[in-house]
Chains A and B, each alone.
Chain A
């Protein structure tokens, strides 16, 4: 799979878009503009969080994922289910049935991402104990949050833990084990993430912190939901695979990761606006005494992902029921954990994304800023979005950037129309005076200057 710098799974289906302002106002990075009555996504600023998918009343925003048929390109097919999959189905209190049904979809093997989460928990905790990192250390598991930090909080990039996500680790461990077990060459083994998350496909196509992802496809939970549900009703033979413990499964629930990492002073924040607020405070050094911060773009964490079917709150309560049936003790072989903090360490720097900064020399940027401030002072300050930019400030930036004009503001346009209308009235009056003699209303002529 080629690396595409601005590949995005979140897309617009243009014919469904009515050009309303719902997505415009909710985008956390101001990455949407309405132009010519249609939304457009600014590719370099979108973080694939999926907020616009949730709020679009016309379902014009979608997340592109791979179809199930993507697995047919590989000789040996491994499913990597996110634990969020286990809580999508009513009346299913044991995840065994759901895992068994994945085999019926055509997979040769199932490797729970929760198992890799156990390994990653160990790798993170070991790094935190042995290495001196700026506090608080910030989780890198949520791809939308990492992209948000790159763009809006680049001073915190050093705080982001340089350990791969459980999804990535799952693909690597599962493929290695499968190659050893079956003798099939690694390139013929495919690993596919069963995803609640809109950002994961972008994270696979355009990974951060690693050269290339080992995940070969991302399949949306909602796309396999009905098929799994049909299989769940059938009987199944008990599984003989290693299962994840509560340490890994809990990662799906907010606070689960922070608990699994096992540090004393931790914080978990879910929901993108709450995450932004927390990052502002971390930047102001207000959380320096915390060890680890788990930040999740979706409210209810991965259980609230845009590619899930079940309500995130229902999913959370069901997850607590499943956790009661899940063993607390990890059963995985110890060799999987050996050296995990090295094996699953990121190999590339996480770079800042400067797409929303002004360009030019420092002096040019200062002049542009002064101009933006001046334009903002002339705008109504209602942040209504009618101009197609999310706020008056964003419109001012767009004007200075050459992408919009002051007349995009309907209030400015109104003012201008009134002024023009006034001019036309007085022009009309002066024309009558000049032509003279043809007035019908009998009022005396008033001298115009």
Chain B
């Protein structure tokens, strides 16, 4: 039975609030007393996802669900979609602009990092429609 379920919108290109959603989710997990190692993995995964939404997407949302057994993070955007998923999942591969790279992002570690930190990872993407990522973390 899911008890806590929240959804937070994430705006494209808004670097000022980038990280707010993952910080909020992190606060809630700590208050709940989720084991520190799980908090760390969820935080890294959610932060990467949020930055991706801001930098690469046309905007989207992060859904956060918590049950006694697991934490589920779903990241849905409204486009533009990833043309070559296999490439995007490769470490070091990035389409980020120089401007974004100058801010210390765009190292091409986002998606691989999410996959590495989650216990279950699923990504679906359709060009022109959007990307839908689900990360599950066992508690």
Contact = CB atoms under 8 A, between A and B. Distances in A.
A292 B95 CA distance: 31
A311 interface: no
A284 B31 contact: no
Nearest to B33: A357
Contacts of B113: 285
Contact of B4 (A283, A354, A366, A397): A366
Contact of A283 (B3, B28, B40): B40
A284 B33 contact: no
B17 to A, nearest CB: 15
A363 B31 CA distance: 13
A352 B4 contact: no
A363 B43 CA distance: 22
B31 A362 contact: no
Given A356-B31, A357-B31, A369-B28, A154 B36 contact: yes
Given A284-B47, A362-B139, A152 B30 contact: yes
B26 to A, nearest CB: 7
Given A280-B23, A366-B66, A370-B3, A358 B36 contact: no
A367 interface: yes
A358 B4 contact: no
A358 B3 contact: no
Interface in B122-139: 139
B23 A363 contact: no
A358 B33 contact: yes
A369 B4 contact: yes
A155 B37 contact: yes
Nearest to A373: B4
Interface in A339-393: 352, 354, 356-359, 361-363, 365-367, 369-370, 372-373
A363 B68 contact: yes
B108 to A, nearest CB: 14
Interface string B46-85: 0100000000000000000011100000000000000000
A266 B104 CA distance: 16
Contacts of A284: 19, 22, 43-44, 47
Contacts of A361: 68
A275 to B, nearest CB: 16
B68 A366 contact: yes
B35 to A, nearest CB: 9
A387 to B, nearest CB: 19
Given A155-B39, A366-B68, A370-B3, A283 B33 contact: no
B33 A155 contact: no
Interface in A182-237: none
Among A286, A359, A373, max chain B CB count under 10 A is at A286
A247 B31 CA distance: 41
A283 B47 CA distance: 10
B116 to A, nearest CB: 10
Nearest to B27: A393
A129 to B, nearest CB: 26
B28 to A, nearest CB: 7
Contacts of A285: 44, 47, 113
A372 B26 CA distance: 16
A367 B40 contact: no
Contacts of A362: 32, 68, 139
B37 A366 contact: no
B22 A354 contact: no
B40 A354 contact: no
A366 B113 CA distance: 28
Contacts of B28: 369
A357 B30 contact: yes
Nearest to B23: A280
B31 A369 contact: yes
Interface in A141-175: 152, 154-155, 157
B139 to A, nearest CB: 7
B26 A283 contact: yes
Nearest to B36: A155
B3 A366 contact: yes
Contacts of B37: 155
Contacts of A363: 3, 68
Interface string A256-284: 00000000000000000000000010011
Nearest to B67: A366
Contacts of B3: 363, 366-367, 369-370
Contact of A365 (B32, B39, B104): B32
Nearest to B5: A370
B36 A357 contact: no
Given A284-B19, A357-B31, A370-B3, 4 more contacts: A283-B43, A285-B44, A352-B36, A366-B3
10 tightest Cβ-Cβ pairs between the two chains A and B: A155-B36, A357-B33, A155-B40, A366-B3, A362-B68, A154-B36, A284-B47, A285-B44, A365-B32, A363-B68
9 contacts: A155-B37, A280-B23, A280-B26, A284-B19, A284-B22, A284-B43, A284-B47, A357-B30, A362-B68
Interface of B: 3-4, 19, 22-23, 26, 28, 30-33, 36-37, 39-40, 43-44, 47, 66-68, 104, 113, 139
Interface of A: 152, 154-155, 157, 280, 283-286, 352, 354, 356-359, 361-363, 365-367, 369-370, 372-373, 397
